Every structure is written in structure tokens, then in C-alpha cells.
Structure 1
Amino acid sequence: MSPAAIPESSLPSVAQVTKTQDVDAMAAMAHRGKALPGIPQFDSHAEKRQWQLEHMAGAFRVFAREGYAEGISGHISVRDPEFEDRFWINPLAVHFGLLKASDMICVNLDGDVVGGNKNGSINAAGFQIHSSVHRARKDVHAICHTHSVHGRAWSTFAKPLDMINQDVCYFYKAHSVYSDYRGIANAPSEGQRIAQSLGDGKAVILMNHGLLTVGQTVDEAAFLFCLMERSCKIQLLVDRTELEKHIVSDEEAAYNFKMASTPECLYTEFQPHYQYEESLCNGNFKA
């Protein structure tokens, strides 16, 4: 029998493969090629801090090109590598496409400015949200939140995303919906409720508000944000039709999540976007 004639039923299923093999997700990305390097390691807190700020600024450039800027709304934060109770966040009223590493402001969880650009201000609602999530999730080192168009549109339904394609499975059983919207998050209680709704997940859809994603690196959180925004757009497009939807099965969705939604893989997924922005502006956002 020729290879083309092998019946599909005789091939091993996804479930059979994953139950019998412990596959390294990063190694599986490259077919018979050199494995991609993954998240770099640093010899000092200062080196890692600068790297984080550069990638934070690069993520803002990506967000600007994707059209996520909306007035003074939207923020990315990164936990300081040396001081667990401090994080870096963007200054208020500076366009995403203009931000540089040196523009970022370091605050502690009590809201005191302790480093970085001390001439800038930060978004009050942004502080409440980010400080609450950083306080609640010690494993989270980066948080992204903007008022992106399709995220806001999908958020009005207060529903999680359906597993309708391979990529959205990166959020399989790892995203939630915050459906207790109480206006602009100027009060600590709103940030605390958002953090509680996020739980131990990777993302939360904020009803009547937008999207929030988290990660161990700003690259992971930023890639997840871009992916969730596009997933909301796809969901809205699909739901406009009356055609039957085919939902990815739980087994296949779990396999996709296992193989592609690790911190290392998601960091790697963001690198082409970062490198493109770096090339376009000769890396001037690193200053």
C-alpha cells in the first residue's frame, strides 16, 4: 500500500501521541533544526532591568503599529528584577509609538515613585489595576492592558472565547471574564476585583472595558495580548454568520495549549514582532 493510501483511522491520534510522549515544546518548534534560544539569562539585576525596559518599549511600539493606543488609556508594567515590590510602568499621556526605555517610571506597590523617569506621571487607574495583579500574582512579571477595538467589542458580551481555531487554544482554560464592571478603576477595590477575576490564568476579558494579559516576560504578555485581540476579532467575524461552528475538542485544545502556551514558547513567538520594530527605528526605543 502506498503512503497516500494509508487510511486516516490507522494513524495515531493526537491524544495517543501526547499520552505516550513527553515532548519539549521549544525543541518541537524547529524540525531537525537548531532549537531557538528562548528567554536569556543575565549576570546582574542591572542588565536584566535594562533588557526588560527595552523589550517593554519595543512592545509599546508593536502596540502602536497594531492600533491599540486610545488617548491616555493603556499600560504595560514589568516587575523589577531586584525588588519584588516594585514595577515599571509607562508615563501618562505619551503615545505608545514614542515611548523609550528611559521614559518608564518605577513605583512600589504603595504607589511611591522610586526610580526611572521621575518627571512623568502614571495613570491612576493603571496603577490600581497593575499593583493589584502584581500583589496577587508573584509569578506574574508583566501585565498588558489597552482599550483595543475588538477586545472592547467582544467584552460587551461578557463571554469567554470559543476554541474555534488552533491559536486561540493558547488560552484554553487559562482565561476568564470579569463581569462586575464599576467604572474607571480609580479605586483600589476595582483593581482587586480584576486581580481576583484573573485568578491563576493568563488573561481576563474585562466587561465593557477591554483585555488584560499577563506573563513571566513582557514579551509573553504582549504576544498574548495581540493574540487575544485578534481572537476577539475572529470570534466577532465568525459569530456574524449562521454557519455551523466546529469547536476544537478538549483533547486537541489541551494539546495545543501544552505545545504552544509555555512562557518560553510565547516569549519566542513575540520576537519577530520585536525585531521588526527594532529594525524599523534602528532600535531607538532602547535609549
Structure 2
Amino acid sequence: MADTMRDSKDVLLERAERQMGAHFSDSPLTTRQKVALTCRIAFDGGHDSGLAGQISARGQRPGTYWTQRLGLGFDEITEDNLLLVDEDLRVLEGEGMPNPANRFHSWIYRAREDVNCIVHTHSLHTAALAMLEVPLVVSQMDTTPLYEDCAFLKDWPGVPVGNEEGEIISRALGDKRAVLLAHHGQLVTGRTVEEACSLAVLIERAARLQLLAMSAGTIQPLDPQLAREAHDWTLEDVRSRANFAYYARRALRNHPDCLTGEVRL
């Protein structure tokens, strides 16, 4: 006999959250492993654009972060060839050099203590939307983690290797999790690597959906109250962990060389 059919939505949401917390525990992966996997996940998700784009995550020491080595594509990143750099992009661990464009990561980490991971790519559909100088429109349930959480930088500041661009991009991001960069690409941030990776997958899907919808007609808005409820619900840490574990399992099937040793997810 069913005993939950008269429960309110709030009660059901709270129960589901408790159950998810019990079933999806913290990841056994290190930060380096998560960053390497995020690179492979991004590659498989259409975020590759040659050597363009950077993925980074804070290191244990203040003012440091892990990122990939310049000259390697996302599909070549392993936990062993990542670099640990400081805010001035000096290499503290690893061999090679980081992408000079990582400088704006340093600016964002300085401005946002809540940010622990940054995924910046020139993914196909976000780049296409950026060419139109059109902000991201979130109008579909799956992409509501980005609802009212994606800024828009309309004026392209040029190649982002200077402190000027770092200041412009970090200011444009503001207190949001993502920003669409006109004539450039996208940038998402996360409290965790798992959250940033999940949002990177979603922002490319959201841009693709928007372009498809724009070609067919007029995009209709979501109900703001319901969209904010969906935003908060879908951005729970436990959901990011579950999403990332799925993406990671899929990436490891495609790229078994990404991690050293066997990992169960």
C-alpha cells in the first residue's frame, strides 16, 4: 500500500535529498584525477578546439592551482602530466609551461573564494552563440542549473593573456557561476570540480538547444519561481557528484590511459 501519495512536494524533495546523500558518497578521486577526467569529459563533449581552453582547480597551497600543460590537447591530459602553478604561472610541479591565458584564472580565484574549479573552452555551440553576441537563454529543465547564473561579456577584449583581460573577465563573471564571452567561448566555475564539470557539459548543451530553438521560432521563458526552484535543486552537491561519476565512468571507458592505476566509481 502506497504511503507517500499525499506527501507535499517539499517533503518528497527533502526525502529524495536524504536518500541521494546516502547513496552517493564523496569521490575517492584526487583533485588531479578529477581535473584530468574533466579534460577528457570536455573533449568527448565537443569542447575541443585544438589547444584552446584551460581547465584548472585550486591546489592545497593558497595561490596555487592545477592545470594542463600547453601543447597537449584535452584528449592527451593525464593525472601525471598536469602542472601545479602559482598565480604568476610559475610551474611548481610538473614539466612544461601552462597556457599564458591561464592568467585570468588567477584573477578569478583571487576575486572568488567560493570558486575551486574553472572550465574555459571554445566549445562549438557556445562559440557559435558568442558570435551572435546573444546572451545564453535557459528555457529547458535540464539546463536550469544555469538559470540566472550565466553572465554575458558583450565586448571582446582580445586575446586574454594580459592582466587587463583578467580583470575584465573576472568582473564580467561577477557572482555568477558562468559567463558567455562574445566572439570567444564560455567559462564556468564550480565550488567543486564535479560542479564545474557538470556545468561545462550543460552550457554547451544549453547553447546548442538555444540555437536550434532560435532557428525554429521564438524561445518561450520559464516560470521564474519554478526555474529558481529547479536551479537550486539541480545544483545540490550530491547531484554534481552523481553526474560527474557517470561522466567519469564513460570517459574512462573511452580513455583508460587518463588515470594511473585502477579506480572504482
Normalized against structure 1, the TM-score is what? Answer: 0.82
Q: Out of 134, 150, 170, which is 1:175 matched to?
A: 150
Q: Rg bigger for which structure?
A: 1
The answer to whether 1:121 aligns with 2:97 is: yes
Q: Out of 236, 244, 257, which is 1:262 matched to?
A: 236
Give, in angstroms, the shift of residue 167 of structure 1. Answer: 1.5
Give, in angstroms, the shift of residue 124 of structure 1. Answer: 0.6
The answer to whether 1:37 aligns with 2:38 is: no
One-letter code of the match for 2:78? K
Return closer, same or farther for 1:146/1:25 CA change in 2, 3 Å cut-off: farther
One-letter code of the match for 1:89? T
Aligned residues of 1:62 and 1:273 also touching (Cα < 8 A): yes
- 1:277 alignment counterpart: 251
Unaligned runs of 5+ in 2: 1-5, 261-265
Q: Out of 91, 94, 117, which is 2:72 matched to?
A: 94
- 1:7 alignment counterpart: none
- 2:18 alignment counterpart: 27
Give, in angstroms, the shift of residue 28 of structure 1. Answer: 6.2
The answer to whether 1:57 aligns with 2:31 is: no
The within-5 A match list for 1:1-287 is 17-18=9-10, 23=14, 26-27=17-18, 35-40=22-27, 51-80=30-59, 82-115=60-93, 117=94, 119-125=95-101, 127-242=102-217, 244-282=218-256, 284-287=257-260
- CA shift digits 1:175-196 (9 cap, x unpaired): 1001221211111110111111
Aligned residues of 1:87 and 1:107 also touching (Cα < 8 A): yes
Give, in angstroms, the shift of residue 25 of structure 1. Answer: 6.5
- Tell me the distance in 2 between the aligned counterparts of 1:157 and 1:27: 43
- CA shift digits 1:68-91 (9 cap, x unpaired): 2212211100101x2121001100
Give, in angstroms, the shift of residue 133 of structure 1. Answer: 0.8
- CA shift digits 1:12-51 (9 cap, x unpaired): 9xxx845x8883663365xxxx83324348xxxxxxxx71
Secondary structure of the corresponding residue to residue 56 of structure 2: strand
Percent same amino acid among aligned pairs?
Answer: 26
- Tell me the distance in 1 between the aligned counterparts of 2:55 and 2:22: 29
Aligned residues of 2:40 and 2:74 also touching (Cα < 8 A): yes
Aligned residues of 1:26 and 1:265 also touching (Cα < 8 A): no
- Tell me the distance in 2 between the aligned counterparts of 1:69 and 1:280: 15
- Tell me the distance in 2 between the aligned counterparts of 1:233 and 1:22: 30
Aligned residues of 2:85 and 2:92 also touching (Cα < 8 A): yes
Aligned residues of 1:156 and 1:207 also touching (Cα < 8 A): yes
- Tell me the distance in 1 between the aligned counterparts of 2:42 and 2:12: 37
One-letter code of the match for 1:285? C
Secondary structure of the corresponding residue to residue 227 of structure 1: helix
Return closer, same or farther for 1:230/1:51 CA change in 2, 3 Å cut-off: same
- Tell me the distance in 2 between the aligned counterparts of 1:263 and 1:144: 17
- Tell me the distance in 2 between the aligned counterparts of 1:110 and 1:286: 28
Give, in angstroms, the shift of residue 110 of structure 1. Answer: 2.3
- CA shift digits 1:84-131 (9 cap, x unpaired): 21001100111211111011111111222112x1x2111111x21211
One-letter code of the match for 2:110? R
